[in-house]
Every structure is written in C-alpha cells, then in structure tokens.
Chain A
Amino acid sequence: MVTDARQSLPFSPLAAWRAYAELARKAFQRQLAYRAANLAGLATNAFFGALRAYVLIALFDARGGENVAGYSVRDAVTYTGLTQALIACIALWGWWDLIRSIRSGEVAVDLLKPLNYFGYWCAQDVGRAAAQLLLRGLPMMALYALVYPITLPPTRWHWLAFGLSLGLALLISFGWRFVIGLSAFWVQDATGIGRASFTLTTFFSGFLMPLSLMPDWFQAVCRYLPFPAMITTPLEIYLGLRAGVDLLTALGVQAFWVVALYALAQLILSAGVKKLIIQGG
C-alpha cells in the first residue's frame, strides 16, 4: 500500500482541487454528526456571551452610554456575540489533529499521499469550520439578535467583504495552528506549546476586547502579529469600522499573512520531514 502511493504521480491541479473538495466535504459531514457536542458547545458559548454582554453594558454605562473608541454599546455587544459565534469556527483554542497524527506516526502515511500536505489538512479544516459556522456560529448570532439589539453590516459590499475577510481569517488561523502543530516533530509536549500559543492567540487577536480599547503600545505590537487578522479584521469590517481604501488594506494584510504563514509552514515542514526520515520514520 505504502509503496504504491510512493510510485503514484502527484495529482494534476484539477484532480488535486477535486481531492481537496472531497476532503472538505467529508470533514463537513463528520462535524455535522457531532450534533450533541456542538449543541452543548453552543450553550456554553451563549452563557459566556451573556456574561460578556452584561459586563460591556455595565462598562459603557459607567461612561454614560457614549461611544468609546468608535464603538457604541450596540457595536460592543455585537462584537461579543460575533467573537463567541466564531470560537468554534476559527478554532482559536486548539486543533490537535496534526499533533496527534505526528505522535501516532500516521504522518508518515499522510506524507506519502500525492497531495500537498498543507492542503490536505487545510481542506479538512475548511470543511470542519463551515460545519461549525452553521451549527454554532449562525445560531449564536440568531440568539444574540433575539436578546440584544445588534449592529449589522452597513452595505451589501460590507457583507461581501466580511465574508471574504472571514475566509481569510480562517486560513490565517489554520496556518498558525499548522505551524504550531509542526513542533510535534521535535518536541515531546507539543500539546503544551499548543496551549501556550493558543493563549497568545486569544489575547492578541482582539477576542477578549476590541483592540481599539487597548492602550496604543499594545495595538502597535499587535500590528506586527498575525493574530488580529484572525478576529479583529473581519469584525471591524462587519461593524463598518473600516471603509474604502482602509478596508482594502485590511484585506491585503490578511492576504499577506495567509501567504507568509503558508511559506513558513512549508519551510518548517520540510525540516520536519527531513528529521522524520533521519529517524527512520
């Protein structure tokens, strides 16, 4: 079986993309099957969403209900709803499949598949994300819309830009998780590294609080990190806080990070594969 795969040629681009679509579809269906787990997750997300909304409402109340850093109370509450809705989809807090496959040795078989290894995992992540957007993201926003007044994107183009930005954000998140996961080639406790890195993601992505509420020096540091592009960028676009050239720049920055993380991933991957071969894996 293994030698057969080694002898087969890599797929033509069309065949490769069809394979990716198939992988995504299967991952999508797999995730849909976890209906109970996703429902439970939704309940937890909703509870935390309510907590965060109450906190923000109380905070804005302290300022007499006026806008802060360009955000109205409604914007801020919508922000918490969106971040809660995207927890599962963007998978800020961990994705352990890659690490598991490296530890179990499955990676050796996966690498022999006639597909780009990065693409192989990326396609599955996209499928999973789409399913969780459906099962957790949309219901979450629907719940929020029922309980709180929320902001909607101002124009059709903002909706479009938001969708695009969200897709890019997912790819950036995946790229980062993939790179972190590759540490399993070298480190025994890749899970610990994963947990630490995903904490970074939480803080520097603007998940907890809109980044514009943070001190200027903090925002300056974040500008050089990929994390804001995972959460803050799509949400700012949604809330209509980025317009015109600024919006295009934001999308451009996201595209940059997608490419940069992909390049970094390939670099580290080839080093990891070399190590694997030397080890006789």
Chain B
Amino acid sequence: MRLYYRLISISMRSQMQYRFAFVVDVLSVLFITAIEFGTLAAVFARFGHIGGWTLGEVAFLYGLVETAFATMDMIFSGFDPDYFSSLIQRGQFDQMLIRPVSLPLQMFGQVFMLRRLGRIAQGVFIFGLSVWLTSLEWTPGKALYLPVVFVSTVAFFGGLFVIGATICFWTVQSLEAINIFTYGGTTMLAYPLHIYGVWMQRFFTFVVPGALLIYYPALYFLGKPDPLGLPLFMPFLAPLAGFGVLAIAFAFWSFGVRKYTSTGT
C-alpha cells in the first residue's frame, strides 16, 4: 500500500512539473463546465423539462455520473485503453511483467491523472446545484446509500476500462467501441433513461448495466416513480452491478495476462 502511495506521488509530482499545462487544463475544464451547464440551463429555460424531469433532476444524473467517471478516470488511468495500448506497443508492459512488484499495483500506480480533479470538482458542483434546485430531502437511508452508489459507479466504469485494456492484448490498438460505452455511456446516463428507445434502455439496464447505477438510484433519491414499471428493488442493485462488472473485468484481465505471457511475446 505504501508503495502505491509512493508511485502515485511520483506521478503527481511529475505532472506538477508541467504547471502551465496543468493550469490551462484546470481552467479549461472550469470554463467547459460553466458553458456546458449554461447551455443545459438555457435549453431547459426554453423547453421546460425533458421526459418530465426538471433541470435540477437532470443535474442530479449529470453531476453523479460525471463525478464518478472523472474519479474513475483518475484512479484507473493505467487501464485507460488508449494509454494501455501504448504501454503494449512500446514494450513497457513486458517490462512491468518482469518486475518483482505485483502487476495490479504497477497498473494502478502508472498514472494518477491530477488534472481530472478539475472534472471531479465540476461534477461535485453540478451535483450540489441539483441538490439545491430539487430541494432534495435527505434521509439516513439516502445519506448512506449515496456513497455506495458513487463507489459502485466508479467500479463500473473502472471495469469498462479494464475490459478495454484487456482487449488490447489481442488487438494492440484500443477498440473505439469501448469509447461508446465509457464516453457514450456517460453522456447517455446524464439524461433520464425513458427518453431513449426501448432497445437502448434494455441494453443499458441488463447488458451494460449503467442505468442500474445512475438512473434507478436517482429514482430513489429524487422520489420519482419508475415509468417503466420495473420491480421496486431496482434502485438498490447498484453495488451488485458496479462490482459485478469490475469482478468480471478483472477475471477477464487475469485471463488476458495469462494468455499474453504464455504466448511468449
């Protein structure tokens, strides 16, 4: 564990060297937030609501998914498929296999993208706005469940990254398809699920269960009935969905590492 902290502090310090770049990145993220949310607010001012959800309610989804994804992106940077494919191509991954340090530790210690802090702050701010706009009524249950949902969502997206990285063992270049689920998924989950076509809803509930992590818990937090009439326990499946995906992802990863080392590349 201490080794992990050493690794990420090295990564952080090296990033701080490029102070100008860091500041530009953080400023541009803040700028983007302002404009993105401003656009959303302007749109809501004109249209009123989307699928019956108000600006504040959409901000709940948006803030939650953005914060969780950015946090995941910071922690799982080593597994970012684009980054990982470069590790494979440059032979760095082979070097990592030889080192007497556990592989997961090295992977997590690879990069710790400090600049993601900007996006995390953005997400938290928008989530805070949502709580204020919707006058969200907190109960002990909700207060306890929120961090669970958050961590589960981080696990979920982390799992997608790990799967994307594992695929690189075979394809070398990262698959663009993964972006559809990570970046596309984030965009999709920022809006209420029922505005999408049925096939899309079903896919993102039962196959790549993002909806179980964002939309259904939101129904619980915001006190909204499920327009799709699914069982009442749906909002509480978040940890199962999130950690389930992560577990499958790491199983796939172990399989991939075994195959990669056994072929003697």
Q: Does A164 contact B (CB under 8 A)?
A: no
Q: Do B39 and A43 have beta carbons less than 8 Å apart?
A: no
Q: Do A189 and B176 have beta carbons less than 8 Å apart?
A: no
A57 to B51 CA separation, bound complex (whole angstroms): 10
Q: Does B187 contact A (CB under 8 A)?
A: yes
Chain B residues with CB below 8 A from A63, complex form:
47-48
Q: Does A159 contact B (CB under 8 A)?
A: no
Our pick among B31, B45, B177, B191 for the contact of A55 (Cβ within 8 Å) is: B191
Count of inter-chain pairs, beta carbons less than 8 A: 90
Q: Do A192 and B25 have beta carbons less than 8 Å apart?
A: yes
Q: Do B180 and A208 have beta carbons less than 8 Å apart?
A: no
A47 to B32 CA separation, bound complex (whole angstroms): 22
Q: Do B43 and A209 have beta carbons less than 8 Å apart?
A: yes
Our pick among B43, B176, B180, B196 for the contact of A59 (Cβ within 8 Å) is: B43
Q: Given A189-B20, A189-B24: A209 and B39 within 8 A (CB)?
A: yes
**Stretch from A23-31, A89-97, A137-145, A210-218 that touches the partner:** A210-218
Q: Smallest distance from the beta carbon of A117 to chain B beta carbons, Å?
A: 26
Chief secondary structure at chain B's binding surface: helix
Q: Does A109 contact B (CB under 8 A)?
A: no
Chain B residues with CB below 8 A from A37, complex form:
176
Contact flags A167-195 to B (C-beta < 8 A → 1, else 0): 00000000000000000000111001101
Q: Do A215 and B195 have beta carbons less than 8 Å apart?
A: no
Chain A residues with CB below 8 A from B13, complex form:
none
Chain A contact residue count (CB 8 A cutoff): 35
Chain A residues with CB below 8 A from B46, complex form:
68-69, 213
Q: Given A43-B176, A51-B187, A63-B47: A203 and B39 within 8 A (CB)?
A: yes
A189 to B27 CA separation, bound complex (whole angstroms): 14
Our pick among B31, B180, B195 for the contact of A44 (Cβ within 8 Å) is: B180
Q: Do A43 and B188 have beta carbons less than 8 Å apart?
A: no
Interface residues of B in 165-191 (CB under 8 A from A): 175-177, 179-180, 184, 187-188, 191
Q: Do A54 and B39 have beta carbons less than 8 Å apart?
A: no
Q: Do B47 and A60 have beta carbons less than 8 Å apart?
A: yes
Smallest CB gap from B47: residue in A: A59
Q: Do A47 and B50 have beta carbons less than 8 Å apart?
A: no
A54 to B190 CA separation, bound complex (whole angstroms): 13
A37 to B173 CA separation, bound complex (whole angstroms): 10
Q: Does A272 contact B (CB under 8 A)?
A: no
A192 to B36 CA separation, bound complex (whole angstroms): 19
Interface centre among B31, B50, B184 (most CB of A within 10 A): B50
Chain A residues with CB below 8 A from B50, complex form:
55, 58-59, 62
Chain A residues with CB below 8 A from B27, complex form:
196
Spell out A's residues near B (CB within 8 Å).
37, 40-41, 43-44, 47-48, 50-51, 54-55, 57-63, 68-69, 187-189, 192-193, 195-196, 199, 203, 208-209, 213-215, 218
Task: Name 4 extra pairs, CB < 8 A, besides A51-B191, A203-B35.
Answer: A55-B191, A60-B47, A63-B47, A189-B18
Those 8 A-B pairs whose CB atoms lie nearest each other, nearest first: A40-B176, A58-B195, A196-B28, A189-B21, A59-B47, A192-B24, A192-B21, A203-B35
